[in-house]
């Protein structure tokens, strides 16, 4: 038995650990291999990684010479608009609503105020502004760069423009002789009230998010019974635990 153990020990010592001991860099740890002491190496100057060549900067940024540009980086077709509508309805309507009036379901339930797209300022905004807002966020709005690829962001931008035009379209905007049906009669023909597509108002819960329309106040913090000010459980916190246990019918007390 002793001999077997000795053999095992010797063979164990002989086991090489090349993979374990090989020279390598640990994340966030320095090194003396490189003169600057950094193990995470900066990108080599004048090189570009695959898929990082953003030669068409307008397509990727929405900016021209540091200013939001106007116009699309590719032609708008019906397919682009349909894709934009689909992506808009998925990602933007929860807050901006399907018509872009800023009264989406999340706002309905107390999210920060969302602007209406059909205001003179946003109607006049360059297309690059919308691309920029989706890519980088805007104030209380988070960015959607991770969820929506650049081409789809532009498709959404084109669709927002169509939404804006649709709200103010007149007979003069369509080829002569085209029959234009008022939206109220379309609603009625589908069995909906005539005012179905009219501007709607948010319920009183929207702005403040509370039933009495008062600003929401966080309840006072309940002290954690296990932690006294010194950070150690002591006699006073034990008293708190007992009181709570009693209040809940003693079941917790029995367990403690």
Per CB under 6 A, 209 contacts ligand HEC: no
State which of residues 127, 134, 158, 163 lies at the interface with ligand HEC (CB under 6 A).
Answer: 134
Does 126 engage in binding with ligand HEC (CB under 6 A)?
Answer: no
x/- site string to ligand HEC, residues 78 to 117, per CB under 6 A? Answer: -------------xx-xxx---------x----xx-xx--
Residue burial 35-71, b: 16+ Cβ < 10 Å; e: rest: eeeeeeeeeeeeeeeeeeeeeeebbebbeeeeebbee
The DSSP output letter for 63 is E
Least distance to ligand HEC, CB of residue 57, Å? 21
The values of phi and psi at residue 67, to 5°, are -125, 150
3-state secondary structure of 241: helix
Candidates 12, 37, 139, 220: give the one binding ligand HEC (CB under 6 A). Answer: 139
Which C-beta is closer to ligand HEC: that of 103 or that of 148?
Answer: 148
Interface residue with ligand HEC among 80, 97, 101, 144 (CB under 6 A) is: 144
Per CB under 6 A, which region of 50-58, 136-144, 199-207, 211-219 contacts ligand HEC? 136-144
Residue closest to ligand HEC, measured at CB: 139
| Segment 22 to 61, residues that bind ligand HEC, using CB under 6 A | none
- Would you call 138 helix, strand, or coil by DSSP? strand
Question: Which residues is 68 bridged to in the sheet?
Answer: 63
> From CA 159, how far away is CA 154, in angstroms rounded?
9
Rg of the chain on CA atoms, in Å: 32
Integer CA distances (angstroms), 75 to 84, 158, 216, in order? 13, 10, 47
- Work out how close the CB of 73 gets to ligand HEC at its nearest, in angstroms, rounded to a whole number: 16
Residue 156 to residues 42, 96, 151, 231, Cα–Cα distance (Å)? 35, 13, 9, 53
Task: Identify which of residues 94 and 209 has a Cβ nearer to ligand HEC in the complex.
Answer: 94
Q: Does 163 interact with ligand HEC (rule: CB under 6 A)?
A: no
Closer to ligand HEC by Cβ: residue 61 or 130 = 130
| Half-sphere exposure for 163 (CA within 13 Å, toward CB) | 26
Residues forming contacts to ligand HEC in the complex (CB under 6 A) are 91-92, 94-96, 106, 111-112, 114-115, 130, 133-134, 138-141, 144, 148, 156
């Amino acid at each position: 038995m002793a001999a077997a153990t000795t053999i095992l020990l010797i063979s164990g010592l002989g086991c090489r650990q090349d993979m374990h001991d090989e020279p390598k860099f640990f994340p966030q740890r320095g090194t003396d291999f490189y003169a600057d002491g950094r193990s995470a190496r900066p990108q080599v100057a004048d090189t570009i990684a695959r898929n990082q060549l953003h030669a068409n900067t307008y397509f990727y940024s929405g900016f021209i010479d540091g200013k939001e540009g106007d116009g699309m980086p590719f032609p708008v077709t019906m397919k682009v608009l349909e894709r934009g509508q689909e992506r808009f309805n998925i990602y933007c309507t929860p807050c901006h609503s399907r018509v872009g009036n800023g009264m989406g379901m999340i706002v309905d339930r107390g999210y920060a105020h969302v602007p209406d797209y059909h205001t003179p300022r946003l109607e006049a905004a360059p297309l690059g502004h919308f691309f920029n807002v989706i890519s980088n966020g805007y104030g209380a709005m988070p960015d959607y760069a991770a969820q929506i690829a650049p081409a789809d962001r532009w498709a959404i931008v084109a669709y927002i423009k169509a939404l804006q035009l649709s709200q103010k379209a007149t007979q003069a905007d369509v080829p002569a002789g085209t029959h234009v049906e008022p939206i109220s009669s379309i609603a009625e023909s589908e069995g909906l009230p005539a005012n179905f597509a009219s501007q709607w108002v948010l319920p009183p819960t929207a702005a403040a998010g509370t039933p009495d329309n008062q600003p929401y106040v966080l309840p006072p913090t309940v002290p954690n019974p296990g932690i006294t000010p010194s950070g150690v459980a002591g006699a006073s916190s034990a008293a708190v635990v007992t009181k709570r246990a009693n209040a809940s019918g003693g079941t917790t007390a029995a367990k403690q």
